[in-house]
């Protein structure tokens, strides 16, 4: 496959496109490939997935007749047993996620359930197409965007304040946009509508009359956008970690509901002694205390040692409530199991763990994803939803969870879609959704609010599941993959929904006392 990659890039160069570099202004006639040209190299991953890796030449900005050309990278794996069934288009999340050959190879080696488990199963009877987002530096191609922009760090002896950090974020984004202009990028071409039309162009190139869509997180939003724009082309959809088109901005109230569910499990377990006001009452006390008076703490660097003073404020706590804890990723159930310890240590005014995290993070430059900002701002938010989020009861405690969007809204070149495009419309497209009740990245209510728009749809609620609810569900229900493949393979997919459970319940979270006594000690062991 590495050899295949080198041949593909040689083909790009031979055809007049320059991999990863901006177009150069010359006096010569444009000899680059025409729009619709495919640069293709055969690829195989053992005997499991056999097909081709391609770059499709597309306009950077479809609204400009003289737009320069860029490429969209994708894989196509013809069905192992051709059946005439509609192909499955897999749409990665992010925005900014991608799937390359190394990801596929490593994914197929994993024994645990993953997206590659699904793709391999779907590929038995369906062509499988993996479409990467235009401009993505994680995928091969030409005219790839800078991956991120640079945000200057905050002052060590000042607490985090979302509004102030937002100003630094906005300044860094403007510098990145100016740099892209010097490199001749037309950033108006990096929006949700161009991503949707890239999928449509790939469909047309291969002559598919209809397609199935599989998306998770932003991938589900991308799929819903394609359905909105080309409803007659969608055969069925499987969506997880669901994001409706109107829900790019998260709801603090729905995030708070995740915390309420964690608190309920703590009480049910009886393994952690809570203060009289409960776990969330303790969190409110911490936030109220720091709102009145930020605290100066002498903390230790977790990796390099040595101590230094920092100031911790209300937004510092808010920020780290939805970040990994110790070695537990945000999408892990272990992060939820450790979350009560974080809250209760802060309640007892033990700031050592939080101080160590801030000392490790605050002096560093941050690098937000540029493609994420461009695409997400093109989805935007309606005035009605913005008002709902600002007036929600949890806003008092979690603040502006969308502070990065708030700081940079209206400052990116791609136009924002209309309210009509974001609006939920009733669709007869069969859809199977999977969503976890402890998802902090795309709250569970996203799915429950979307489901009524699909009379021929079904939601599998994964009780205790996070943003990777499919992986969680597959662990406790050996039939989970069969639910998805039966739905994809059936001549009448809506009929299969009757056989699929509405709920898959995971074991309770395990709230255990920390072996060393504190998160900081665990961090520095």
Given this model, what pLDDT does residue 30 score? 54
Evaluate if residue 46 carries a pLDDT over 90.
no
In 60-149, the DSSP E strands lie at: 69-77, 88-91, 128-131
pLDDT attached to residue 70 = 94
What is the band of 28 on the pLDDT scale with cuts at 50, 70, 90? very low
Ranges 108-112, 343-347, 381-385: which has the least confidence: 108-112
pLDDT the model gives residue 376: 97
Task: Give the mean model confidence (pLDDT) for residues 283-292.
Answer: 98
pLDDT, tens only, 66-82: 999 999 999 999 999 99
**pTM across the whole model:** 0.93
> Hey, how many other C-beta atoms are within 10 angstroms of the C-beta on 419?
14
Q: How confident is the model at residue 518 (pLDDT cuts 50, 70, 90)?
A: very high
**Whether pLDDT at 23 is above 90:** no
Are 74 and 56 spatial neighbours (Cβ–Cβ below 8 Å)? yes
Which is higher by pLDDT, 143 or 108? 108
The continuous run of DSSP H or E covering 356 comes out as: helix 352-361
Q: Is residue 155 pLDDT above 70, yes or no?
A: yes
CA quadruple 136, 103, 217, 77: dihedral positive or negative?
positive
Say if residue 305's pLDDT is above 90: no
Average pLDDT over residues 26-35: 60
Q: Is the pLDDT of residue 516 over 80?
A: no
Q: Average pLDDT, stretch 85-109?
A: 95
Mean pLDDT of 376-392: 96
- pLDDT tens, 208-243? 999 999 999 999 999 999 999 999 999 999 999 999
Instruction: Give the integer Cα–Cα distance in Å for 334 and 332.
Output: 5
Assess whether pLDDT exceeds 50 at residue 27.
Answer: no
Matching residue, tokens 């993959």: 481
pLDDT band per the 50, 70, 90 thresholds, residue 29? very low
Q: pLDDT tens for residues 238-271?
A: 999 999 999 999 999 999 999 999 999 999 999 9
DSSP, collapsed to helix, strand or coil, labels residue 139 as coil
- Beta strand 69-77 with 128-131 is antiparallel
Residue 433 confidence (pLDDT) above 50: yes
DSSP conformation letters of 480-523: HHHHHHHHHH-SSHHHHGGGS-SEEEPPPP-----TTSSHHHHH
pLDDT band at 16 (very low <50, low <70, confident <90, very high): very low
Q: Does the pLDDT of residue 26 top 50, yes or no?
A: no
Percent of the chain whose predicted confidence (pLDDT) is above 70: 93
Q: What is the pLDDT of residue 363?
A: 67
Structure tokens of 392? Answer: 């929600």
Instruction: Count Cβ atoms below 10 Å from residue 383 Cβ, excluding itself.
Output: 8
The full length of the chain comes to 525
Three-state secondary structure call for residue 175: helix
Percentage above 90 pLDDT, the chain: 81
pLDDT reading at 141 higher than 90: no
Q: Which of 344, 275, 356 is nearest to 316 (CA)?
A: 356
Average pLDDT over residues 39-61: 95
Please tell me the least confidently modeled range out of 105-109, 145-149, 508-512: 145-149
Mean pLDDT of the chain: 91
Reply yes or no on whether the pLDDT at 1 is more than 70.
no
Burial 191-213 (b: 16+ CB within 10 A, else e): bbbbbbbbbebbbeeeebeebbb
pLDDT of residue 31: 58
Please tell me whether the peptide bond between 49 and the residue prior to it is cis, using omega within 30 degrees of 0: no
């Amino acid at each position: 496959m590495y050899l295949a990659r080198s041949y593909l890039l040689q083909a790009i160069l031979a055809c007049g496109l320059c991999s990863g570099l901006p177009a150069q202004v010359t006096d010569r006639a444009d000899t680059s490939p025409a729009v619709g040209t495919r640069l293709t190299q055969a690829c195989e991953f053992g005997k499991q997935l056999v097909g081709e890796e391609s770059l499709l030449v597309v306009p950077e900005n479809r609204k400009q007749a003289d737009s320069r050309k860029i490429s969209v990278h994708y894989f196509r794996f013809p069905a192992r047993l051709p059946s005439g069934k509609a192909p499955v288009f897999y749409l990665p999340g992010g925005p900014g996620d991608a799937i390359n050959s190394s990801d596929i190879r490593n994914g197929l080696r994993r024994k645990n359930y993953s997206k590659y488990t699904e793709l391999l199963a779907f590929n038995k009877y369906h062509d499988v197409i993996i479409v990467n987002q235009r401009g993505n530096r994680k995928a091969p191609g030409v005219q790839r965007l800078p991956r991120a922009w640079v945000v200057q760090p905050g002052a060590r002896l000042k607490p985090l304040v979302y509004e102030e950090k937002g100003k630094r974020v906005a300044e860094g984004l403007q510098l990145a946009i100016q740099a892209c202009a010097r490199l001749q990028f037309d950033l108006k071409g990096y929006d949700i509508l161009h991503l949707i039309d890239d999928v449509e162009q790939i469909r047309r190139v291969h002559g598919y009359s209809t397609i199935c869509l599989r998306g998770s997180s932003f991938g589900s939003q991308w799929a819903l956008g394609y359905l909105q724009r080309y409803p007659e082309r969608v055969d069925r959809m499987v969506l997880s970690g669901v994001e409706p088109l109107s829900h790019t901005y998260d709801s603090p109230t729905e995030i708070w509901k995740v915390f309420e569910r964690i608190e309920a499990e703590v009480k049910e377990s009886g393994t952690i002694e809570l203060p009289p006001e409960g776990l969330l009452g303790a969190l409110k006390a911490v936030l109220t205390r720091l709102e009145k008076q930020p605290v100066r703490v002498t903390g230790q660097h977790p990796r390099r040692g040595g101590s230094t003073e920092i100031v911790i404020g209300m937004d510092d706590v808010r920020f780290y409530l939805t970040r990994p804890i110790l070695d537990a990723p945000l999408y892990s159930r272990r992060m939820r199991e450790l979350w009560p310890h974080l809250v209760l240590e802060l309640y007892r005014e033990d700031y050592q763990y939080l101080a160590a995290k801030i000392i490790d993070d605050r002096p560093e430059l941050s690098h937000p994803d540029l493609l994420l900002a461009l695409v997400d701002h093109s989805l935007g938010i309606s005035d009605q939803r913005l008002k709902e989020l600002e007036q929600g009861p949890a806003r008092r405690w979690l603040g502006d969870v969308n502070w990065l969007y708030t700081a940079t809204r209206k400052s990116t070149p791609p136009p924002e879609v209309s309210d009509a495009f974001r609006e939920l419309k009733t669709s007869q497209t069969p859809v199977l959704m999977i969503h976890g009740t402890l998802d902090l990245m795309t709250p569970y209510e996203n799915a429950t609010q979307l489901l009524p728009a699909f009379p021929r749809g079904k939601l599998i609620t994964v009780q205790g599941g996070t943003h990777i609810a499919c992986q969680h569900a597959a662990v406790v229900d050996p039939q989970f993959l069969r639910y998805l493949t039966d739905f994809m393979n059936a001549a009448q997919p809506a009929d299969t929904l009757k056989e699929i459970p509405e709920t898959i319940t995971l074991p309770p979270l395990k709230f255990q006392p920390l072996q060393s006594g504190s998160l900081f000690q665990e961090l520095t062991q």
